[in-house]
Structure 1
Amino acid sequence: MKVTETKLKGCFILEPTVFEDSRGYFFESYNENKLEEILGYKPTFVQDNQSRSSYGVVRGLHMQTGEYAQAKLVRVIEGSVIDVAVDVRPNSETYGESVAIELSVDNKKQLFIPRGFLHGFSVISEKATFFYKCDNNYNKASEDGVNPLDDELNIDWQIAINQMIISEKDQEAQSFSTFKNK
């Protein structure tokens, strides 16, 4: 497995070793011991989530706060997405900075996103099935988020604005300026 730490400390791109032959392929998509070696601590994933979306869908930017904060290990099992993580950890040297990476069924990359990050993705293929592990259970009262089209964050979702499909909730989400001034 190839591991690359992004410019955001603790946020890693994981590229599995893929074994291919005439029958197809095999790769290890998760190994607790290897992830512990990378992170320096043992993550305990308690919830798996999966979504399927069409081209142009933008989901995010979401997070869980307080005692329900979540680290995530995300990947795509159908199609292709642009996955985005925004560092909002208090006192982080990269506060407000983001990384964007293409995750696809073809490249089989995963992104580990630590607690204290906003997260979202856009679907750049006809359809995409997005799968992620969380190290904490979802709690509605702990939801927080920022509008994915926030000018200050200026994220390139790689979809024309007139082709974006964004939920009403995400369209009405707060600005990053409001978020950081709470």
Structure 2
Amino acid sequence: MEARELSVPGAWVFTPKVFPDPRGAFCAPFQGKVFERAVGHPLTLAQANTSFSRRGVLRGVHYADVPPGQAKYVQCVSGSLIDVVVDVRVGSDTFGQWDAVLLDPKTMSATYLSEGLGHAFLALEDDTVASYLCSTPYNPGAEHGVNPLDPALELPWDQYIASSELVLSDKDRAAPTLAEARGAGALPTLEECRARVADLRG
């Protein structure tokens, strides 16, 4: 398995070897030793989530309060999606920047987003299924969002699907811009996120 840190520090893409044969194929999309070597601590697993989306569904940008935050290990097991990590950590040198990865069952790549990073994805096909391994349970009081259509972020959705075809939840469409969330004091700080990662690394 290959591990590569993305341009947003604290996010990685993991790509396993896929072994095809006449029956189909096999791979191990999560490998604990490779993960720990890349990230610096084991993956704490508290909850596994699955979402089913049709083409054009846009979910995010979501993040959680730190501490404890919620790290995610995201795969696409059917269809395909563009997975985006956004740096929403106040004080980060890459604040407001993002990186994107194509996830699909052909490569079985996965993205890992550490605590305090924002996450969004766009389903490129009908019957797109995303699977998330989460480090903490769902806590509605600690979950927040930034508008994925925030023009200041310039997220890459229109490179794949016309804006008129995007399907968002009412909550995501009404989410504040990054600047509004920062002005309201709703974003995690880089210091909080570093402290959380240091705790995980012991």
Instruction: Please say whether Structure 1 and Structure 2 have the same fold, judged by a TM-score greater than 0.5.
Output: yes
Are 1:82 and 1:121, in contact at CA under 8 Å, matched by a contact in 2? yes
2: CA distance between counterparts of 1:39 and 1:121?
22
Q: How many aligned residue pairs are there?
A: 182
For the aligned residue pairs, the C-alpha RMSD in angstroms reads 1.1
Amino acid at match of 2:7: K
Partner in structure 1 of residue 175 of structure 2: 173
2: CA distance between counterparts of 1:168 and 1:143?
15
SS at match of 1:100: strand
Partner in structure 2 of residue 30 of structure 1: 30
Task: Give the TM-score normalised by structure 1.
Answer: 0.96
Partner in structure 1 of residue 190 of structure 2: none
Partner in structure 2 of residue 41 of structure 1: 41
Partner in structure 2 of residue 149 of structure 1: 149
SS at match of 1:165: coil
SS at match of 1:42: coil
SS at match of 1:166: coil
2: CA distance between counterparts of 1:43 and 1:105?
22
Query: 1:172, CA displacement in angstroms?
Result: 0.5
Are 1:17 and 1:27, in contact at CA under 8 Å, matched by a contact in 2? yes
Partner in structure 2 of residue 118 of structure 1: 118
SS at match of 1:178: helix
Instruction: Give 1:18-167 correspondences, 5 Å limit.
Output: 18-157=18-157, 158-167=160-169
Residue by residue over 1:33-62, the C-alpha shift from the partner in whole angstroms, topping out at 9 and shown as x without a partner, is 221111111221111000001001001111
Give 5+ residue unaligned stretches, structure 2.
186-202
Amino acid at match of 2:52: R
Query: 1:23, CA displacement in angstroms?
Result: 1.9
Task: Give the TM-score normalised by structure 2.
Answer: 0.87
Are 2:56 and 2:161, in contact at CA under 8 Å, matched by a contact in 1? yes
Comparing 164-173 with 29-38, which one deviates more in the overlay? 29-38
Query: 1:9, CA displacement in angstroms?
Result: 1.4
Give 5+ residue unaligned stretches, structure 1.
none
Identity over aligned residues, as a percent?
34
SS at match of 2:107: coil
2: CA distance between counterparts of 1:153 and 1:143?
20
Amino acid at match of 1:167: S
Query: 1:126, CA displacement in angstroms?
Result: 2.1
2: CA distance between counterparts of 1:146 and 1:10?
19
